[in-house]
Amino acid sequence: MGRSAKELLGKFAMFSLTSLVGTLVDLGLHWLLTAYLFKGSYGGSFWIAPTISFEVAAITNFCISYFFVWKERISHRNTRSFFRHLAGYNAATIGAFLIKLAIMQGIHFLFVGLDWLQNWTEMEPVICNLLALCFSGLFNFFMSEFVIFGKTNKTP
């Protein structure tokens, strides 16, 4: 049987709060890496930093999702279950990351073409990242809700 709209909206609200934590981790780490480690490097600011920050945020989001958001859908809590769900979650986040990276590059090139934020060498990549996260977050929610932590019909 399908999920009710109320249940789906409730999960989306919880997922959104979780995503806020992940977004703060992603943006904060991305800014630190761009401002200090990869300062002035296009490849570092637009490829390496978002890769590192996204993965750290993904693991943070997974832990919150596993232990709080979809906890009732985990039938057996053990190390095997944790890593099995983490593998599926990480595979989905790779898809979300590729979406985010493509959109992030597109937004950056749009900003370059419009000559917007080009003097903000440390913040422009972070702003592009934030805008792209909006799109990849929707993908992540649907993968989590319907695939990774999807309900199974238990019919006798």
57-112 pLDDT per residue, tens: 989 989 998 888 878 888 888 999 899 989 988 888 888 889 888 999 999 999 99
Alpha carbons 64 and 17: distance in angstroms, whole number: 10
- With 0.85 as the threshold, say if the pTM is over it: no
Model confidence at 144, in pLDDT bands (50, 70, 90)? confident
Alpha carbons 101 and 108: distance in angstroms, whole number: 10
96 contacts: CB under 8 Å, gap ≥ 6: 136, 137, 139, 140, 143
- The whole-angstrom distance between residue 87's C-alpha and the CA centroid of its chain comes to 15
Query: Which segment of 34-38, 140-144, 147-151 scores lowest on mean pLDDT?
Result: 147-151
Output the pLDDT for position 125: 87
Contact yes or no for 118/112 (Cβ under 8 A): yes
Output the pLDDT for position 86: 92
Output the pLDDT for position 152: 60
Model confidence at 2, in pLDDT bands (50, 70, 90)? low
14-57 pLDDT per residue, tens: 888 888 898 899 999 999 999 999 998 989 988 999 999 989 99
DSSP letters spanning the chain: -PPPHHHHHHHHHHHHHHHHHHHHHHHHHHHHIIIIISTT-HHIIIIIHHHHHHHHHHHHHHHHIIIIITGGG-SS-SHHHHHHHHHHHHHHHHHHHHHHHHHHHHHHHHHHHHT-STT-TTTHHHHHHHHHHHHHHHHHHHHIIIIIT-------
Output the pLDDT for position 6: 86
